[in-house]
Amino acid sequence: MELSDRKLQILKAIIDDYIDTGVPVGSRTLSKKPGFEFSSATIRNEMADLEELGYLDQPHTSAGRTPSDMAYRLYVDRLMHIDRITKDEAMFIRNYFNMRINEVDEVLESAAKALSDVTKHISMVIAPQLDDVKLKRIQLVKITPTKAMLILVTDNGLVQDQMITIPVAVDARQMEMLSNMLTDMVQNVSLKKAEEVIRTTGAESILEHKAVMDEVLDAININREKKELVYGGAQNIFNYPEYKDIGKAQHFLQILETKDMLYQVLSNATDLEFSIHIGRENQYEDFKDMSIVTATYKVGGKKIGSFGVIGPTRMDYARVLSVLNYVGMSLSDILSCLLETDQNK
């Protein structure tokens, strides 16, 4: 059954009001809004219908109505209106990135901080996902007699490094040779497939330096599996009346600190431009009264990581989306600029 225009109008007004105030909305409140021609009784009837259809909840008999997950879903799909963020806000966000930033990690932290400060929700950002990124170069640098640094350079300019232990004596020249050999093998191969390619195409050279190669392959795998995530604005949890219960808040902070769930959520969202999960749409029971909105950032035109905010279902989706959009653009710009000066020249 399709909702009548009036029902939609009322539903939208309820959601807008509830997002704004956080207080269950009563019929009288609505009827006094400018542009509302109907009496409170009419609205009450419509509200009763909407409740029956599953769009509204009533915390208790004598309270106003609150939107259900279903209502928010309808809202984000059809009712809400997204404005572009204001110039001032754009400036404000840009400022978070304007400091001297040299490392990818710092960019991510800045983004998380910007997001949480601007949206007043908890923000999260994952580091670039490397699995599908193609390698450009592998370099081994001898640091001490038994340690070397392994440097992986990807074709979008990301540089990852890691210390490895060299179990047998290898001099600097040999290491240079190994580097060149490895680079030849993995050119344009994704990190995911690097091990396989090295093991097959480089079979004989591996045997020669087996001990070192094993360390290198180990290190590559560790890098692949590295799960890096930053979050920000944890203290915003206190803005959510849902979490005024200390026990719940504590539990939630625990979840944040573990990071595992957030990581799952974000890594599942790496290919979609935007994603919105409302309440029980989330895969985790713990997020059943939270909404998660995510977006992706790009480096070199390729979606490579995602970020988002998590907050109560009562969230200003329109605003969050516009902020996410802008932060995504900024993030992509900054990273591309940080990493790809060569290509730009």
Cα distances (Å, whole numbers) of residue 237 to 21, 95, 175, 252, 294: 17, 24, 51, 9, 18
For a copy of itself, which is the closer residue by CB, 105 or 131? 105
> In angstroms, what is the minimal distance from the CB of 313 to DNA?
19
- 196 binding partner (options a copy of itself, DNA, none; Cβ < 5 to 8 Å by kind): none
For a copy of itself, which is the closer residue by CB, 8 or 249? 249
For DNA, which is the closer residue by CB, 15 or 216? 15
For DNA, which is the closer residue by CB, 38 or 274? 38
> In angstroms, what is the minimal distance from the CB of 223 to a copy of itself?
10
- 145 binding partner (options DNA, a copy of itself, none; Cβ < 5 to 8 Å by kind): a copy of itself
- 161 binding partner (options a copy of itself, DNA, none; Cβ < 5 to 8 Å by kind): a copy of itself
> In angstroms, what is the minimal distance from the CB of 9 to DNA?
12
Residues that bind DNA (CB under 7 A): 23-29, 37-42, 44-45, 47-48, 51, 58-65
**Which chain residues interact with a copy of itself by CB under 8 A?**
100, 102-103, 137, 139, 141, 143-147, 149, 151, 153, 157, 159, 161-163, 165, 222, 232-235, 238, 244, 246-247, 249-250, 253-254, 257, 341-342, 345
